[in-house]
Structure 1
């Protein structure tokens, strides 16, 4: 599919009622939106396949849904720091922020560095990008040891008092996902959550209580990463 064919196809799916519905129901407020659901964009992206040049063209169109498509068409290993900075500064809601963070940023070789850098940002969705990337990075990186992830507890505790709704939700998300990586990080994440519980802010209280509810749940599902350490191989007896 060509750029023009894709843009025309997006306009064919235009539904302004969905723009209003997404804003009211999910808090997705976006400029230049056509009103196409994320699940429909995933189908379109699957039909197109990976295409970096086309992805960049779509992003530069300024159409909201075309930018979402960019996050699904660009190859994660080709993401550069310049592109990450260009894109992160345009995020206007949690949907597009998370789409780029989960689909591209968390799979980048510089994910860890950008998580630490963006966690110091003031704009709501730039800071959310740090923790949304971290939450996904916990599952994207299947081989790194615990030391890599333990370093992120410092920024989680530091930003737990941020009362911006989409920041605190992402901080909570990141804490929970680190704690679901393996049994040792689960124990450490619970300790961190209890430390945050001592903070006075409402955001910290919510982050800690919500995380503890999930991390201490009986039968919690964990990923056992890195599996070379945390997954005991099954030995078949003949």
Structure 2
């Protein structure tokens, strides 16, 4: 690790200690969000810190290695999407510790990847719950931006969503419904596609 990156990492971790929110940290632990260290720092402050440091590939790589909630989230905020090679994307998606980080990766980083659609569609069929959640969250963001999808890609999304709606995990089902809702709100008759594909499902999203 370069000295400059090492110094930045130390500064950031020291600032976390000063901003610790014990009540928020305990609440997250009670909800099952397990981290080795969790300072309970809110997203607005983390966004402020991210803005101070700017996009920094090397720092993001080192932050992600830390089993600390705030380091993981900050890594998703300062990693330049254009510099993420496929092997790094595959590594990070495989190392997601919980739903919170899955959502942060989707919102802060993965939706901006050049190949975001293909990554997300692939993750829908993953064995790991957090990868699936991340995939649907990425698609929800792309649908919200009216990103164009081919007929094959739409069919793949619909097929996976139909299969995943029966998942026992509430968080997974929530991510599916959120993506379907965003899809139905897109321009160009997407809501009709949903009504046809899910007419036998008990969904109140049309």
Q: TM-score, normalised by structure 1?
A: 0.75
The answer to whether residue 181 in structure 2 is matched with residue 176 in structure 1 is yes
> What pairs with 1:9-158 in structure 2 (closer than 5 Å)?
9-24=15-30, 27=31, 29-31=33-35, 32-140=37-145, 142-145=146-149, 147=151, 148-158=153-163
Shift of 1:44: 1.3
Aligned to 1:194, the other structure's residue is in SS state: coil
Aligned pairs, how many? 198
Question: Does structure 2 conserve the Cα–Cα contact (< 8 Å) formed by 1:79 and 1:104?
Answer: no
1:151: how far off?
3.6
CA 1:165–1:58: 2 relative to 1, 3 Å: same
Structure 2: runs of 5 or more not aligned: 1-6
> Which residue of 2 is the match for residue 6 of structure 1?
12
Q: In the TM superposition, what is the alpha-carbon distance from 1:189 to its structure 2 partner? A: 2.1
CA 1:3–1:138: 2 relative to 1, 3 Å: same
Question: How many angstroms apart in 2 are the aligned matches of 1:92 and 1:154?
Answer: 27
Match of 2:4 in 1: none
User: Unpaired segments of 5 or more residues in structure 1?
Assistant: 198-204, 216-238
Contact 1:179/1:190, CA 8 A, preserved across alignment? no
Alignment partner of 2:189: what SS? helix
The root-mean-square deviation of aligned C-alpha atoms, in Å, is 2.0
CA deviations over 1:145-190 (Å, ceiling 9, x no partner): 5534454112111211112111111111111111111141122123
Q: Which moved more, 1:165-174 or 1:77-86?
A: 77-86
CA contact (8 A) 1:15 1:35 kept: yes
